[in-house]
Chains A and B, each alone.
Chain A
Amino acid sequence: MSATSLLLASVADQTPRFHQEKPHVRSVVPVVRYATLLRHEPRLTDDETHRVHEAMHAMWPEWKTRYAAALAKHANVLIGDVWFNPEQEVRYRLDGKTPMIDLPEAVIAQKSPSGISLRNCAALCVHDFSSKIWTRINPVPPKELPVDSLPEVLDRYRSLANLCGEWFHSELKKISNDLLAGPRAANDGALEVTTVGLRVDDAGERGEDFDAWLFDSNGAPQIDKEDFQKFMTQGAVLDYDIREVAKHESVAFWTPMTTAVRLANGDLASRSAMYLVRLIGDDMTQAVGIAFDDSEAGDLASEVALKMSRVLANRL
């Protein structure tokens, strides 16, 4: 057999395997982003958002102790287990058109297997949308969690995001001298964007086919695939067959969302998550997505969650 024939035979052997073998999920990286929505009437002004930031920034050196204590209490750890990134400060920036006040990242119980990274921020909308008091929680990078722990971890993250978000909101109201409270600010529901990165081993070219395990060429979800059913059901905590979303949800849609991640070999690769977006109760929007993640840093869920959050937040 010639060298060329050998080469071609080798390619022929491998090609079907790439397309038939489903990605093996070795661990999970869940990211929960939760926001309380507030509508201001009349709208906030740019000047007011700067005043909130100035107040927050001035208070930070003392207030961070209170903040650490609250995080420790809600996370059920010692206050010494809460660490703030000293390279970060209370920052004012524009996220698109929206003024944002970012608190420094908090790392809670870093050395514990259940350690988390948490960040609170306030998106103070000066346009015709709601302001959002955000809490983001994920494992401390590059930590990955056991596959079986996903339901329990998501339950914990959601509960913690809710508690910490509420606490931060109540503090922000005081700090801003009731600028964000009172009759001017009305509750406008909630937004949750939960994304689960399904870590798979570096699979080389197979990564290009991951999308096909999540959605078909028309963008329709692969709801008959076993892993898709399992992880999406766990992520969204569905008590019915995921194939019956249309029957059970009053308003729901599926959508892929794509981003770019860096692979271990330095290549930049396009990867997607598939999201189910639905209305919960009267005023909560929930987006739950899963993504096969072969990135170097395990940051696909984090990256795509931010992108999805921005797109949804910009329309609520």
Chain B
Amino acid sequence: MADTTEEKLRGMIASFSVRREANPFSSLVEKICGVTFVNKTNDPYRKRPKDKESVRIALVSMPFVSFDTVPRSSLSEAIACPDGVDDVAFLRQLVSFKAERADRMFAAFSEALEMALHSTPSADVICFNELGLPATDMVPMLRAKKLAWDKSQEHGALIIAGSAHDSRTLYNTGYIFRPGGPEAGQGFHKSVSARSVGELISAPAHKSVAAVYFAGLRIATMICIDVADYASIASVIKVADGVDVLLVPCYTTKFEKMGAIADLTSKALPGVVALVNADLPGDAKVCRIARFGKSDESTTKMTTPAGAVISMLDINLSQFDEERTRMKTEGAADWEKVEYLFGRRDMPSFTASPKT
């Protein structure tokens, strides 16, 4: 190691002057998508609770329930398809759970909430899978939303109640319920249709990723294949100093393919990325956890009587801060890949003094 301060500074210049190319798309993502907090800076639940070492996140995988795919049009019924425009452009296809399954879905949802909130230790955050919010006639079930809000108030828990296709908006909308938050929840929307499985949804013109500051963690959430959308994920990495955890409700049989994305994203943050899938027939896993670039297993797993699988993810806050700081100040192996994908964010880049 260099001995004098001058030698150390010259060493820094040498290491910081290694410029790595960043892909040109990375510089403009903020103009396409952004991250927005749903709670205020004076929210008392944003702080790390005193004497609490870990935050427990329950990833709830709802049991498979058969459904129909229902076509809709985004064009108002009173308006004819404009000449020259293919009406496929207005076609939407939404998931409709059978009415007779509604009670079963609600029971599974309710049981999962109870089990997660009464586990030891109890869950601080609960995240349901995509389409995990019970719905009837393609509208999120009011009693499920009410229950989620009640539980969030009663237990001081953050509940990301999965999402549901909504025939009123043609969106795939997830809801965040938090202590002190609005009773109706705070909606966030999927922005990319999973066309390969027949999903065709509308999306808001203003593309945004929702985030909530809770229990000392800055938690962002996006739905399923949105995590594979470059602009969406790069917009999160762009502000990674303000995001610790990314929770992704999913509903896909091709779940494994998203694992590499979770690993890479958790390295780029650096932080934790958790994908929570429905418990689907076949061999798709129910969840995928990535910490600081490496895949990890849930702490414990339990199954409710109605068949929901709950995977617990425990985050020791001190260890989390320690590892995050270490990676941000030292970098990590293969960091070049991250810098190429998203640009250099944590290290200085040396610039010589301009000559006059």
- What is the interface of chain A, defined by CB distance below 8 A to chain B? 87, 93-97, 128, 189, 208, 215, 218-221, 223, 241, 243-247, 249-262, 265-270, 275, 277, 279, 282-285, 296-297, 303, 307-308, 310-312, 314-316
User: In whole angstroms, what is the CA distance A307 to B240 when docked?
Assistant: 13
Query: Are A221's CB and B5's CB within 8 A?
Result: no
B168 contacts the other chain (CB 8 A): no
Size class of the contact patch on chain B: 35 or more
CB contact under 8 A between A223 and B354, given known A96-B326, A255-B349 = yes
Q: Inside 8 A of B40's CB, which chain A residues have their CB?
A: 266
Closest chain B residue to A222, Cβ basis: B354
From 231 to 258 in chain B, residues with beta carbon under 8 angstroms from any chain A beta carbon are 238-243
Query: Are A310's CB and B325's CB within 8 A?
Result: yes
Q: Inside 8 A of A254's CB, which chain B residues have their CB?
A: 350-353
- What is the interface of chain B, defined by CB distance below 8 A to chain A? 1, 4-6, 8-13, 15-16, 30-31, 34-38, 40-41, 50, 211, 238-243, 318, 321-322, 325-326, 328-330, 345-356
Number of A-B contacts (CB under 8 A): 142
Query: Are B35's CB and A283's CB within 8 A?
Result: no
Query: Are B31's CB and A208's CB within 8 A?
Result: yes
Closest chain B residue to A252, Cβ basis: B353
Between A and B, 19 residue pairs with Cβ closer than 8 Å are: A94-B322, A95-B322, A96-B325, A219-B351, A220-B354, A221-B351, A247-B356, A251-B10, A253-B352, A253-B353, A254-B353, A255-B348, A262-B242, A266-B37, A268-B34, A283-B4, A284-B5, A314-B330, A315-B12
Known: A208-B30, A270-B30. 10 other contacts (CB 8 A): A93-B318, A93-B321, A96-B325, A97-B326, A243-B354, A254-B352, A255-B16, A258-B345, A279-B5, A316-B8
Query: Are B356's CB and A266's CB within 8 A?
Result: no
Query: Are B5's CB and A282's CB within 8 A?
Result: yes
Q: Inside 8 A of B9's CB, which chain A residues have their CB?
A: 251, 253, 277, 279, 285
Looking at the assembled complex, report how far the CB atom of B25 sits from the nearest CB atom of chain A, in whole angstroms.
15
CB contact under 8 A between A257 and B348, given known A284-B5, A285-B9 = yes
Query: Are A261's CB and B6's CB within 8 A?
Result: no
Q: Inside 8 A of B352's CB, which chain A residues have their CB?
A: 246, 253-254
CB contact under 8 A between A311 and B329, given known A270-B239, A297-B41 = yes
Say which residue of A218, A241, A314, A316 sits within 8 Å of B351 (CB atoms): A218
Closest chain B residue to A308, Cβ basis: B348
